[in-house]
Amino acid sequence: MSWDFISNLLLASVRMATPLIFLSLAELYSQRAGLVHIGLEGLAAIGSLVGFLVSLITGSPMLGVLAGALAGILVNMIFAYATISLCAEQIVYGMAINIFAPALAAFIYRVYFGAGSTLVQVTLMNNLSTTLGITSDNFLLKLLLDQTPMVYLAYALVIFTAIYFNKTKSGLNYKAVGEYPKAAATLGINVIGVKYIACIICGALAGMGGAFLTTCYSNTYVDGNVAGRGFIALAAVIFGRWSGGGVLLACLFFGFCDALQIRLQVGSFGVPYQFFQMIPYIATVVVLALIGMKKAGPKGAGKPYLREDR
């Protein structure tokens, strides 16, 4: 196995992990406020479409990302109102978002482009190396510079999240809402307000994750391009033990497994391709077994909060 193979594999892992990081952070912020959100796939789908359309119309991928975030927030307000104000079942509404949002994205696409079948392509966000005019075959330089600003943002958000939840009073208050909201309320924390803020952050990050796919990764929009990443993000939060650093490692691990199966398929080695396609799933089972099922998540996650409830 050559160094070229390993370095290209690592670069591909970073590429494939980035949308997962946005989605996993979205889930982390949601669960830390006591909201289990399984609708990330839907939020990312609408973010992907809106990001693509705005990027196409304005010619600015950055505006596309912002619009994708806004779209994610708007759609997630359905989830927020239903689960926070109406105390509805979070899993059910998460699934409703997963059905509704991709269909809405497909609907908007058809309305905008009609029933035509022309492949529409947009200009992708430039890598930092392109912006700076630096070209190099050095692995470290490629790893550090051959990335879009969104990649740096993803890693910056991980660092911010780790500090926020562990080192700030506001972050501890936020976590308290997800752990035991009634106790948090007795301390004067606005539980409902925090939960709504969590939904805004979750929607924005999930929308950005989706928009990343069409503004930084692939220059076309295809229905279904989120391809299960919303569910992988759910697993990444559990693997990452509900912490910023853990989530990052989990996402890199999933990205690595997917990149590995692709590179091994190409390398062939005389092994049936189905074996390589199994790698991400086998790795998931193995890691789950190693980490164990010890509950480490917010204790109030998934439970509706009724202020008058005893």
Partner 1 sequence: MMKKLFALLLSLAMVLSLAACSSGTADTDAAATAPTEAPASEPVADADPTEAPAEAPTDEAKEFKVAMICDSSISDGGWGMSCYNAMVDAAAEYGWTTEVSDMIAQSAYYETIVTYCDLGYDLIYAPGNQYTDAVLQAAEEYPEVAFALLNGGTSTPEQAVNGNVTSLLPDAQQVGWIAGALAGLMTETGTIAFIGGMELDTTVGKYNGYAEAAAYVGEQAGKTVTTLDVVYSGDFSASDKGIEFAKAMIDQGADVFFGDASAVDSGARQAIDEANAASGSVSIYDIAQPSDLLGQNECIICSQVTDNASLVGLCMEAVENGTFGGEVIYGTLQNGVLSAGAISDLVPAEIQEQYLAYLDQMIEGTFMQ
Stretch of residues binding partner 1 (CB under 8 A), selected from 26-34, 106-114, 287-295, 299-307: 106-114
Among 62, 74, 95, 106, indicate the residue that binds partner 1 (CB under 8 A): 106
Site string for partner 1, 57-76 (x = CB under 8 A): --------------------
Site string for partner 1, 3-32 (x = CB under 8 A): -xx--x---x--xx----------------
- Is residue 107 part of the contact set for partner 1 (CB under 8 A)? yes
3-state secondary structure of 121: strand
Site string for partner 1, 39-58 (x = CB under 8 A): --------------------
Nearest of 192, 259, 183 to residue 20 by alpha carbon? 259
Select 31 or 225, whichever has its Cβ closest to partner 1: 225
Separation of CA 74 from chain center: 17
Stretch of residues binding partner 1 (CB under 8 A), selected from 59-67, 164-172, 259-267, 287-295: 259-267
3-state secondary structure of 151: helix
List all residues 6 or more positions away from 132 whose beta carbon is below 8 Å from its beta carbon.
145
Site for partner 1 in 260-299 (CB under 8 A): 262-263, 265-268, 273, 277
Stretch of residues binding partner 1 (CB under 8 A), selected from 21-29, 156-164, 170-178, 223-231: 223-231
CB 177 within 8 A of CB 191: yes
CA 108 vs CA 22, 166, 209, 223, 236: distances in Å? 24, 41, 19, 11, 30
CA 175 vs CA 29, 166, 180: distances in Å? 9, 9, 9
CB 273 within 8 A of CB 265: yes
Site for partner 1 in 111-170 (CB under 8 A): 113-121, 135
Interaction site with partner 1 (CB under 8 A): 4-5, 8, 12, 15-16, 78, 81-82, 86, 96, 99-100, 103-107, 109-110, 113-121, 135, 213, 217-220, 222-225, 227, 259, 262-263, 265-268, 273, 277
